[in-house]
């Protein structure tokens, strides 16, 4: 299918991907800094994606209410995925946001400012490698020589790395088409790619619309998990140092909306559908694969993230090793809120 490979396609072998990835991140940082205003005193700038607890928090307006006693206002900026959101965070264009497993690894490699402030529990069913319903591909080993679409530097990038490794397929034995979800969906539908590595709710939408088959998800196929697929909440060192009470208040507000959402999947789907542009019944499927319960990072979460960092460094995607624990925020005990004792 190489004759139909998108022009954005690049082989990972010989690509010098670490330099390109960090260069693109640097360009994103400069653009983000130029396009967004500086933070006003008594405000918090939050970056969000169209799916998850932050978009619910924005829609319900409860964070604004929670921050009123602190004299703090909220501004919101939407991003298409985790990598550009964290580019903006590193640039100081936003103060707080969320992303999956891989984007924080590249963000930490690009800047020492990144801080992990909380995480959701694993949700391994919420990301998968999809193939067309009539594809002859029946296992990950069959992807050798095939064209695979994915969002570069996103959570699913790590899922693909782990799945190929488990199947004994070298990373440079597949062709990678680095495409944003909308472009990847179009390529998948027209048959320009053989597989698509994607997360919910786009995963659920593709399954419903095209009958796409799940080749493997984060749970793996042999009883050994491939990728936890955690959602992380992140900030900058400068903001956590100057405004720890705001960070803690945001986390408490997320915990409250999580507690409501966990038992109201249909209501959540109805609330998200207009913003996401995906029908509520499809979102209900995706929400059934989501996890709730924001909390400080525990030892397991840090260890899993270190595995992501080590995997990308081993492939030459990072220019140097990083230590994830160095970027984990420990809130001041007197300002941290009710969960501080769990850290």
266-282 pLDDT, tens digit per residue, is 999 999 998 888 999 99
Report the predicted TM-score, pTM, of the whole model to 2 decimal places. Answer: 0.83
Better-scored residue on pLDDT, 208 or 25: 208
pLDDT of residue 19 exceeding 70, the answer is no
Given a cut of 60, whether residue 36 has pLDDT beyond it is: no
pLDDT at position 3 over 90? no
Instruction: Give the pLDDT of residue 50.
Output: 87
Mean pLDDT over each residue of the chain, to the nearest integer: 87
Q: Evaluate if residue 115 carries a pLDDT over 70.
A: yes
Query: What confidence tier does 339 reach under pLDDT thresholds 50, 70, 90?
Result: very low
- Exposure string (b/e) for 245-266, b if CB count within 10 Å is 16 or more? bbbbbbbbbbbbbbeebeeebe
Please give the Cα distance from 119 to 117 (Å, whole number): 7
Check pLDDT > 80 for residue 133: yes
Cβ distance 115 to 68 under 8 Å? no
52 versus 306: which is more confidently predicted? Answer: 306
Angstrom distance (rounded) from CA 53 to CA 62: 12
Confidence of residue 167 (pLDDT cuts 50, 70, 90): very high
Query: What is the DSSP code string of 88-153?
Result: HHHTTS-SEEEE-SHHHHHHHHH-TTEEEEEEPPP-GGGEEEEE-TT-S--SGGGGTT-EEEE-TT
- CB count within 10 Å of CB 237 equals 14
Q: Are 228 and 124 in contact (CB under 8 A)?
A: yes
pLDDT of residue 215: 97
pLDDT tier, 41 (very low <50, low <70, confident <90, very high otherwise): low
232 contacts 125 by C-beta, under 8 angstroms? no
Percentage, residues of the chain above pLDDT 90: 79
Average pLDDT over residues 244-263: 95
Q: What pLDDT, on a 0 to 100 scale, did the predictor assign at position 340? A: 35
**Average pLDDT in the 195-202 region?**
96
Mapped onto helix, strand or coil, the DSSP state of residue 25 is helix
Give the pLDDT band of residue 333 (cuts 50, 70, 90): confident
Minimum mean pLDDT range among 8-22, 199-213, 244-258: 8-22
The residue behind tokens 């619309």 is 209
CA atoms within 13 A on the CB side of 24: 14
* The token pair that represents 10 in the structure block: 């690049």
Q: What is the pLDDT of residues 228-250, one digit of tens each?
A: 999 999 999 999 999 999 999 99
Average pLDDT over residues 149-174: 96
Which residues is 11 bridged to in the sheet? 175
More confident residue, 141 or 338: 141
**Structure tokens, 209:** 């619309």
């Amino acid at each position: 299918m190489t004759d139909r490979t998108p022009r954005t396609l690049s082989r990972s072998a010989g690509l010098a991907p670490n330099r390109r990835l960090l260069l693109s991140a640097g360009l994103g940082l400069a653009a983000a800094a130029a396009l967004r205003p500086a933070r006003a005193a008594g405000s918090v700038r939050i970056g969000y994606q169209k799916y998850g607890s932050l978009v619910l928090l924005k829609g319900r307006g409860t964070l604004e209410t929670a921050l009123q006693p602190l004299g703090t206002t909220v501004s919101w900026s939407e991003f298409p995925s985790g990598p550009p959101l964290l580019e903006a965070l590193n640039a100081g264009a936003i103060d707080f946001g969320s992303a999956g497993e891989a984007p924080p690894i590249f963000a930490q490699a690009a800047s020492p400012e990144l801080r992990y402030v909380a995480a959701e529990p694993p949700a391994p069913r919420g990301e998968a490698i999809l193939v067309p319903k009539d594809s002859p591909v029946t296992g990950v080993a069959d992807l050798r020589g095939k064209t695979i679409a994915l969002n570069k530097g996103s959570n699913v990038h790590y899922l693909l790395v782990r799945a190929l490794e488990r199947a004994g397929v070298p990373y440079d034995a597949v062709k990678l088409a680095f495409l944003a979800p909308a472009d990847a969906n179009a390529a998948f539908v027209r048959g320009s790619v053989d597989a698509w590595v994607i997360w919910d709710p786009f995963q659920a939408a593709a399954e419903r619309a095209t009958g796409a088959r799940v080749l493997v998800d984060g749970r793996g196929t042999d009883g050994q998990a491939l990728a936890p697929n955690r959602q992380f909440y992140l900030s900058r060192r400068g903001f956590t140092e100057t405004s720890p009470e705001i960070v803690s208040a945001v986390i408490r507000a997320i915990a409250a909306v999580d507690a409501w959402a966990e038992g109201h999947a249909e209501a959540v789907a109805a609330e998200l559908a207009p913003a996401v542009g995906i029908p509520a019944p499809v979102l209900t499927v995706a929400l059934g694969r989501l996890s709730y319960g924001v909390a400080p990072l525990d030892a397991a979460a840090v260890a899993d993230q270190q595995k992501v960092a080590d995997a990308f460094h081993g492939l030459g995607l990072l220019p140097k090793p990083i230590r994830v624990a160095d970027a984990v925020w420990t809130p001041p005990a007197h300002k941290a809120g009710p969960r501080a004792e769990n850290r």
